[in-house]
């Protein structure tokens, strides 16, 4: 079982017994960053989540993990965001067999290609037919048909999969040609470090020598003037030598103004193709294909349910399958429709959320593990004063409540107290990043509950 699967299993289990607000607040963006020698390290996005998981959920998490893998005896939580960096560091210490589980790390260091992404595993439907056909054509005759090939579309719709598939194909069929895949962020940081280390010539040399250059997510080049310039030079040299260039972005080229302006005429000779959202039938086809790859199988009504709930993002479709599969492993039975509905309730977006003063006060109280009553009293205890000020701040900020109204809500306090609280939090927000995060988390839970 990979760490990701393990964690999915924990999340699935916890979600069944936790309110939606709590689940979203404390478990969003968490993951297992390593599991070794009975010790699991859980990566959490901020120190509040760390504290809460340690104090309130540790037992449940440990029990679930232990049920899945008896060797797990200990958990520690660390705050961190950069999954790749941390994972890589820890990977170096892991035994060989564990490493194989991380498909992402079978990535070829030279080409940055991940063998997992192939045309074979790519489901084609009306929504991605054109970019798929173009990708196939380009991979058969790199540099000779559509050049550049520009593929755009929203998050999780298969851009990277398609780009990587082209790379894998050309690397396989044209062994003499140099293929390279790179994200635009990585490209940008290479530019920066080459400048810093006075190695710009070597940088240019390297990229001019490419036969198939794939740059993913070029929207991130927006605003990076120097990088754009280097990109532009590389692009021109390759283009003039009939080398294949493949680009992706989350928006059409004309929406990336500065960049596109210079490249516009070039794009005309190439192909611009967009991936839209998959239709219902294709979503089901994708679910079934992925299930087959993972050697799992669920009743049709479940696929239909998932496909009706998750409409815009293929990555989320995959995530849903993983969750169901974990549920099955953990409970030794196939989930039925009711269970599936429970598991995915937080994926249903509620179209209209009504925020009330009660919800705000409740949300703040729950967040700090206080009783609502405590918030409303005149207590001067530090643990209560700050949450109370935050509640007042939110009543003003989110509900546009008048200060006298806010004062009255807090057991008839004077409006000056409300003003003072509001201003104090505003001031602190300007310099306190942690407070900002804290309030964000509180808001999230108010808005989704
Ligand atoms: P993007 O780069 O557009 O954000 P990705 O290429 O990373 O999206 O796709 C997200 C996930 O969905 C990947 O795991 C990918 O394999 C899968 N996926 C996307 N499109 C398809 C498809 N048409 N057929 C099969 N899997 C797909
Ligand atoms: Mg991508």
Contact, 44 vs 79, CB < 8 A? yes
Ligand 1 within 6 A of 244 CB? no
Low-confidence spans in the chain with pLDDT less than 50 = 82, 84-103, 349-352
Q: Ligand 2 mean position to 23 CA, how many Å? A: 27
Contact, 9 vs 330, CB < 8 A? yes
pLDDT at 258: 65
Contact, 4 vs 32, CB < 8 A? yes
Residue 279 is given by DSSP the state P
Q: Give the N- to C-terminal CA distance of the chain in Å, as an integer.
A: 33
- In degrees rounded to 5, what are phi and psi of residue 215? -120, 120
- The packing angle between helices 200-208 and 225-240, to 10°, is 40
Query: Which ligand is located closest to the Cα atom of residue 117?
Result: 1
Ligand 1 within 6 A of 286 CB? yes
Q: 148 preceded by cis ω (within 30°)?
A: yes
Ligand 1 within 6 A of 322 CB? no
Query: Nearest C-alpha to atom 19 of ligand 1 is from which residue?
Result: 158
Ligand 1 within 6 A of 283 CB? no
Ligand 1 within 6 A of 163 CB? no
Nearest atom (ligand 1) to Cα of 124: 23
Nearest atom (ligand 1) to Cα of 155: 4
Query: Nearest C-alpha to atom 9 of ligand 1 is from which residue?
Result: 158
CA 51, 54, 56, 61 torsion: positive or negative?
positive
DSSP string of 414-438, one letter each residue: -HHHHHHHHHHHHHHHHH-HHHHHH
pLDDT at 351: 44
Q: Are strands 74-79 and 39-44 parallel, antiparallel or unpaired?
A: parallel
Ligand 1 within 6 A of 320 CB? no
Ligand 1 within 6 A of 135 CB? no
DSSP string of 30-41, one letter each residue: -EEEEEETTEEE
Which residues does residue 153 pair with via DSSP β-bridges, in sequence order? 275
pLDDT at 347: 58
Contact, 250 vs 160, CB < 8 A? no
pTM given for the model: 0.61
pLDDT at 48: 78
Q: What residues contact 121, with CB distance under 8 A and at least 6 apart? A: 161, 289, 293
Q: Tokens for 400?
A: 């546009």
Nearest atom (ligand 1) to Cα of 123: 24
Q: Ligand 2 mean position to 231 CA, how many Å? A: 19
Ligand 1 within 6 A of 156 CB? yes
Euclidean distance between CA atoms 383 and 65, whole angstroms: 33
pLDDT at 352: 47
Ligand 1 within 6 A of 314 CB? yes
Q: Ligand 2 mean position to 186 CA, how many Å? A: 13
Q: Ligand 1 mean position to 73 CA, how many Å? A: 35
pLDDT at 308: 86
Contact, 234 vs 245, CB < 8 A? no
Name the residue of 156, 215, 292 to mutate for ligand 1: max ligand atoms within 8 A of Cβ: 156
Q: Ligand 2 mean position to 233 CA, how many Å? A: 24
pLDDT at 243: 96
pLDDT at 89: 40
Query: Nearest C-alpha to atom 11 of ligand 1 is from which residue?
Result: 315
């Amino acid at each position: 079982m990979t760490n990701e699967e393990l964690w999915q299993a924990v999340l699935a289990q916890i979600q069944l017994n936790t309110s939606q607000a709590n689940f979203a607040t404390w478990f969003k963006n968490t993951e297992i960053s390593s599991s070794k020698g009975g010790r699991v390290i859980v990566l959490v996005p901020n120190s509040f989540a760390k504290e809460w998981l340690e104090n309130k959920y540790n037992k449940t998490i440990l029990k679930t993990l232990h049920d899945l893998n008896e060797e797990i005896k200990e958990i520690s939580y660390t705050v961190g965001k950069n999954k790749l960096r941390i994972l890589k560091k820890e990977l170096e210490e892991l035994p060989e067999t564990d490493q194989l589980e991380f498909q992402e790390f079978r990535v070829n260091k030279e080409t940055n290609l991940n063998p997992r992404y192939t045309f074979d595993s790519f489901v084609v439907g009306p929504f991605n037919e054109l970019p798929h056909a173009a990708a196939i054509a380009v991979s058969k005759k790199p540099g000779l048909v559509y050049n550049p090939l520009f593929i755009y579309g929203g998050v999780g719709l298969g851009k990277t999969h398609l780009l990587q598939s082209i790379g894998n194909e050309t690397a396989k069929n044209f062994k003499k040609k140099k293929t390279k895949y790179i994200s635009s962020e990585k490209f940008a940081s290479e530019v920066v470090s080459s400048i810093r280390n006075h190695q710009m010539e070597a940088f240019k040399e390297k990229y001019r020598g490419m036969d198939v250059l794939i740059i993913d997510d070029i929207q991130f080049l927006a605003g990076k003037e120097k990088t754009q310039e280097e990109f532009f030079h590389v692009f021109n040299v390759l283009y003039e030598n009939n080398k294949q260039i493949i680009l992706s972005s989350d928006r059409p080229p004309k929406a990336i103004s500065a960049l596109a302006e210079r490249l516009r005429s070039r794009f005309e000779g190439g192909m611009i193709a967009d991936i839209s959202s998959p239709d219902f039938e294709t979503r089901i086809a994708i679910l079934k294909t992925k299930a087959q790859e993972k050697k799992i199988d669920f009743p049709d009504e479940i696929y239909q349910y998932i496909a009706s709930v998750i409409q815009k993002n293929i990555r989320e479709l995959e995530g849903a399958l993983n969750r169901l599969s974990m549920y099955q492993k953990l409970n030794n039975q196939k989930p039925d429709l009711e269970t599936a509905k429970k598991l995915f309730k937080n994926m249903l977006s509620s179209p209209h959320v009504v925020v009330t003063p009660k919800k705000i006060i409740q949300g703040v109280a729950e967040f700090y593990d206080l009783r609502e009553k405590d918030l409303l009293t005149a207590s001067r205890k530090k643990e209560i004063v700050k949450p109370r000020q935050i509640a007042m701040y939110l009543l003003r900020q989110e509900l546009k409540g008048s200060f006298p109204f806010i004062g009255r809500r807090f057991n008839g306090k004077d409006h000056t107290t409300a003003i003072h609280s509001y201003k104090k939090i505003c001031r602190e927000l300007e310099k306190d990043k942690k407070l900002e995060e804290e309030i964000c988390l509180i808001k999230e839970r108010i808005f989704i509950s």
